[in-house]
Amino acid sequence: MQLLDGKFASEKIKQEIAADAADFLTKSGRKPHLVAILVGNDGGSETYVASKMKNCEKVGFLSSLIRYDVTVSEAELLEKIQEINRDVSVDGLIVQLPLPKHIDPEKVTETIDFQKDVDGFHPVNLGRMMRNLPCFIPATPYGILLMLEAYQVDTAGKHCVVVGRSNIVGSPMSILMARNANPGNCTVTLTHSRTTNLKELVLQADIVVAAIGKKNFVTADMVKPGAIIIDVGINRETSELTKSGYKLYGDVDFENVAPKSSWITPVPGGVGLMTIVGLLKNTLASAKGEVYK
């Protein structure tokens, strides 16, 4: 078993991003600028957004956090998004999900200018991704591709089984792994909560992408010896054992699956760190006008 170490891979790529951002500053006189909107006080979202902002500073980007109370109206939020769309000093805009029930996430996603949609959630970016055109790829799937690339994992011709069909991870990941690209060129099976023979399918996988949001869902008896395991789960549980008061668990039973695998991502310290790298790379590409001229 070898570890796909998110800390190592993310630090290496962030150094490259920082060098690129410094070069961009010299040439343009400004820093890449990411704006994040956070509604409410969800514990997980607070942590993720804080980490995104901190990493922006680390690589020499400008970051702005706009906070709203959980009671903010949909209209007020959409108006703010339109204002940021018009602001030429902003390269990337993300609205942290989940949103409170009275706000339609689809409306929010579609209101963000697709040219600033560094989360890659807008239908234009997803459509362009399907067609292998320049676009912003959703940050988590992008981070996974960067991780596979960093460790030169050969994916061509392999059977990739994705567990979970979310808009953010499972669904785009299935498209990306099937693309004629490297990483990619996989035969892909997309499984989900209604899949009847899930264990049988996962047992056939050369690559498992676990993104179902259930602690220790993928167990050792479901995994073929030598499989590559990508664990996207970030399941937070309160814990008296840690300083922060909570502990993170993946979707994979790491302890028992790791010995059977060829490569595996840990939680924490795996895909989560790469998601931020995906976001930073999209923001830099936006600033440089590499995706949309």
Q: In whole angstroms, what is the distance from residue 129 CA to residue 150 CA? A: 21
Instruction: Name the residue with the smallest CB distance to ligand GUN.
Output: 97
User: What CA–CA distances, in Å, run from 215 to 43, 71, 234, 236, 237?
Assistant: 18, 31, 8, 9, 10
Is there a catalytic annotation at residue 52? yes
The correct pick among 65, 66, 78, 97 for binding ligand GUN (CB under 6 A) is 97
Residue among 162 and 205 whose Cβ is closer to ligand GUN: 162
Residue from 96, 125, 261, 282 touching ligand GUN (CB under 6 A): that is 96
- Tell which one of 9, 59, 139, 271 touches ligand GUN (CB under 6 A): 139
**51 C-beta neighbours (distance < 10 Å), count:** 14
3-state SS, residue 151: coil
Our CB check for ligand GUN shows the closer of 169 and 223 to be: 169
Strand order in the sheet with 2-3: 2-3, 263-264, 228-231, 207-210, 159-163, 187-191
117 binds ligand GUN (CB under 6 A): no
- If the CB atoms of residues 139 and 209 are measured against ligand GUN, the closer one turns out to be 139
Instruction: Out of 52, 80, 116, 158, pick the active-site residue.
Output: 52
Q: Taking CB under 6 A as the rule, does residue 119 contact ligand GUN?
A: yes
**Nearest distance in Å: CB 240, ligand GUN:** 26
In angstroms, give the least distance from the CB of 115 to ligand GUN: 17
53 is an interface residue for ligand GUN by CB under 6 A? no
**Nearer to ligand GUN by C-beta: 34 or 205?**
34
Which residues on adjacent β-strands are paired with residue 153? none
Q: Peptide bond preceding 98: is omega within 30 degrees of 0, i.e. cis?
A: yes
Within residues 249-288, the interface with ligand GUN by CB under 6 A covers: 275
The answer to whether residue 39 forms part of the interface with ligand GUN (CB under 6 A) is no
**H or E stretch covering 161:** strand 159-163
**CA dist 193 → 100, 166, 197, 252 (Å):** 24, 11, 11, 16
Under 8 Å between Cβ of 233 and 217: yes
To the nearest whole angstrom, how small is the minimum distance from the Cβ of residue 256 to ligand GUN?
27
Q: Are 216 and 249 in contact (CB under 8 A)?
A: yes
CB of 139 to ligand GUN, least distance (A): 5
Q: Quick check: 84 binds ligand GUN (CB under 6 A)?
A: no
Within 8 A by CB and 6+ apart from 252, the residues are 208, 210, 216, 217, 218, 229, 231, 233, 264, 267
State yes or no: residue 103 binds ligand GUN (CB under 6 A): no
Residues annotated as catalytic are 52, 96, 119
- Residues of this chain that bind ligand GUN (CB under 6 A): 94-97, 119, 139-140, 168, 275
